[in-house]
Amino acid sequence: MGSLKKYKFEIILALATLGVLGVFFLSISGLMTPKIADVVVTSSDASNEGKRVAPSEAALSERLSGGTQSLLPDPSGLKMQGMAAYAEGDYDQAIIHLEALLNENRNDPEALIYLNNARVGDQSAYTLAVIAPVGNTSEIGLEILRGAGQAQQEFNQLAEVTGVPLRLLIANDDNDPSIAKSVAAELVNRPEVLGVLGHYSSGVTLEAAPVYSQGKLPMVSAISTSVELSGFSPYIFRTVPSDSFAAAALARYMIDGLDVQNAILYYDSNSAYSLSLKSEFTTSVFSDGGKVITEYDLADANFDADEQIALAQEQGADVVMLASSTDTLEPSLAVMAAVDKQIPLIGGDDLYHPQVLQAGGLDAEGLVVAVPWHVLSDPNSEFVAGARQLWGGDVSWRSAMAYDAIASLATALTQDPSREGVRTALHEADFLADGATGDVHFLPSGDRNRAAQLVQIQPGSRSGLGFDFVPID
C-alpha cells in the first residue's frame, strides 16, 4: 500500500469531482425521493444480552452484509435506497445514493464500505470479512469499521492503477462467544472469503480461533490482547501488541515514573483480557521490584469500592491498577470516585473509552492508560490526514489497528490470493505491510512486536467531553 502515496492528491481530486457530479445528478433526476425497497435492517436486541445461544441460519444471515442490509440501527432513507439498489445489482444507483448519504453524514463507515463494494460491483475482487460488535458495543464496532473502511478505500484507489480491488463483508457478532463461533464457521464455509479481521474481546477471539484454525482461514485481530493468543495457531495473527507490552509499560511507569512500589489491583474475573493483563502486570511489577498487595474483582457481587479503597490506604497502597474490561466500566468509575485523587490511577486499554471521560470527569483526571497507539503521537501521518478527510475528525487506536489488519491481509493477497497463500505470506520473515502505525510485521507467534503508548486523562476540548486522553511519553 506504500506506493499509493504518490497518487494521493490526484485521486482525492478525482473522487471529490465525481462526488459533486453524483449529488448534482441525484438532485436533478428526482432520485432524492424515497422509495419502498426490500431491504433488511438489523440491530441487536438488548434483551438478549448475556444469552449464549447459537443463531439459526436465518438469524445468522442477518448478521452479515456486503451492502444489502444495514447492521446498524436506524439507517437513513438514502442508505435504504442505496442498499436496495445494491441488492438488485444496480451498482450505479447504489453509488449515487451512498455518495449522497456520505455527503450528508461522512462519519458512517458502514456506508463507506458499501459504497466501495458498489464501486467494485461485479468485477473480480478479493473478499475479506470484518467482524465488529456493531450491536451491543456499537461505538467500538464503528471504530473498527472506520479503520477497515479507510484501508479498503485506499487499497482500491491504488487497485484502479495496479490490480484487483477489495470487497469487504461486514459481520456483527455482538461480542458474544457463541455467535462469534457461528459467524466464524459461516465464513470458513464461504470459499470467497480469503481472510478475516476479528474479533473484539480476547475471550470471544479465543472461542472463535479454533474454528478458523480448523478451517484454515487466516484471522487477524486488531483488538484482542490476551497472551493466550500468542502462538495459538499458524492461522491466528494480531496487529495489536499483547498484554505483556501494556503491563510492562504500566509497571515501569509505576516504579520509575511514580517512584512507588505497592499496588492495589482491580480486575474482571469474567474477562480473558482482564485476567491476562492482571497476570502480566503482577509479573512485571514483581520483576521491577514492586508488588501487588491486594486484588479485587470488579465483577464480584459484594464489590464495595469505598470500603476497599479505605482498606488499601491503610495497607499503604501507592497506586491503583484498573485491569478493567468494558463490561466493568461502571464499578471502575466507582473506584475512581472512591480514590478521590488521593492515589494515582493506572489502567489497561479498555479504559480508553468515551464513558470514562464523560462519566468519570474530575474523578478520572490523571488516570494513565496504556494503549497501542495515539493520534497525537503521529499527528502528521498520512493515515491521520486520511482519517480526518474521511470522517471529519480523529480516530482511536482501535481504528488504527483495524487499518493495519486490513492492510496486512491485502498486502498478503497481492502475493498469493488464497487462504494458504495469505497465511504463508504473513509468516514470512521479510513480510512488511504499510500500516497506519508504521510497518506491520509478525513474529512467528503471530504477535506484533510493538511497544505500548501511555496516555493520561487531562482537561481538554478535543473529545467534546471536557477531558481528553493525551500522550505523556
Give yes or no for residue 14 having a pLDDT over 80. Answer: no
Q: What does the pLDDT read at residue 136?
A: 57
Q: What does the pLDDT read at residue 5?
A: 40
Residue with cell 462526488: 19
Classify 437 as helix, strand or coil: coil
Q: What does the pLDDT read at residue 135?
A: 74
Which has the closest alpha carbon to 361: 468, 287, 450, 279? 468
Which has the closest alpha carbon to 434: 419, 414, 451? 414
Averaged pLDDT score across all residues of the chain = 89
Give yes or no for residue 37 having a pLDDT over 70. Answer: no
Q: Other CB atoms closer than 10 Å to residue 223's CB: what's the count?
A: 30
For strands 40-41 and 69-70, give the pairing.
Answer: parallel
Instruction: Specify the higher pLDDT residue, 29 or 387.
Output: 387
Q: How confident is the model at residue 6 (pLDDT cuts 50, 70, 90)?
A: very low
Q: In what order do the strands lie in the sheet with 368-371?
A: 291-297, 262-267, 319-323, 345-347, 368-371, 453-459, 467-471
Chain segment 207-263, per-residue pLDDT in tens: 999 999 999 999 999 999 999 999 999 999 999 999 999 999 999 999 999 999 999
Instruction: Specify the higher pLDDT residue, 374 or 10.
Output: 374
* pTM, two decimal places: 0.87
Backbone dihedral angles phi then psi of residue 347, each to the nearest 5 degrees: -170, 175
Instruction: Specify the higher pLDDT residue, 57 or 37.
Output: 57
Q: How confident is the model at residue 138 (pLDDT cuts 50, 70, 90)?
A: confident
Chain segment 250-296, per-residue pLDDT in tens: 999 999 999 999 999 999 999 999 999 999 999 999 999 999 999 99
Q: What does the pLDDT read at residue 222?
A: 97
Q: Give the span between the Cα atoms of 160 and 156, in whole angstroms.
A: 6
Q: How confident is the model at residue 119 (pLDDT cuts 50, 70, 90)?
A: very high
Q: How many CA atoms lie within 13 A of 328 on its CB side?
A: 29
Q: How far is CA 381 from CA 42, 160, 240, 268, 454, in A?
A: 36, 23, 19, 36, 19
Q: Give the span between the Cα atoms of 472 and 456, in whole angstroms.
A: 6
Give yes or no for residue 377 having a pLDDT over 70. Answer: yes
Q: What does the pLDDT read at residue 53?
A: 61
Instruction: Specify the higher pLDDT residue, 86 or 22.
Output: 86
Q: Which three cell numbers stand for residue 94?
A: 447504489
Q: Which three cell numbers stand for residue 328?
A: 466493568
Q: What does the pLDDT read at residue 328?
A: 97
Give yes or no for residue 24 having a pLDDT over 60. Answer: no
Give yes or no for residue 64 having a pLDDT over 70. Answer: yes
Q: What does the pLDDT read at residue 161?
A: 75
Chain segment 332-359, per-residue pLDDT in tens: 999 999 999 999 999 999 999 999 999 9
Which has the closest alpha carbon to 438: 382, 366, 365? 382
Q: Percent of the chain beyond pLDDT 70? A: 88
Give yes or no for residue 418 having a pLDDT over 70. Answer: yes
Least confident of 121-130, 153-162, 333-342: 153-162
Provide the sign of the torsion angle of the four alpha carbons 394, 398, 404, 410, taken in this order. Answer: negative
Give yes or no for residue 52 having a pLDDT over 90. Answer: no
Q: How confident is the model at residue 40 (pLDDT cuts 50, 70, 90)?
A: very low
Q: How far is CA 80 from CA 35, 213, 434, in A?
A: 9, 36, 35
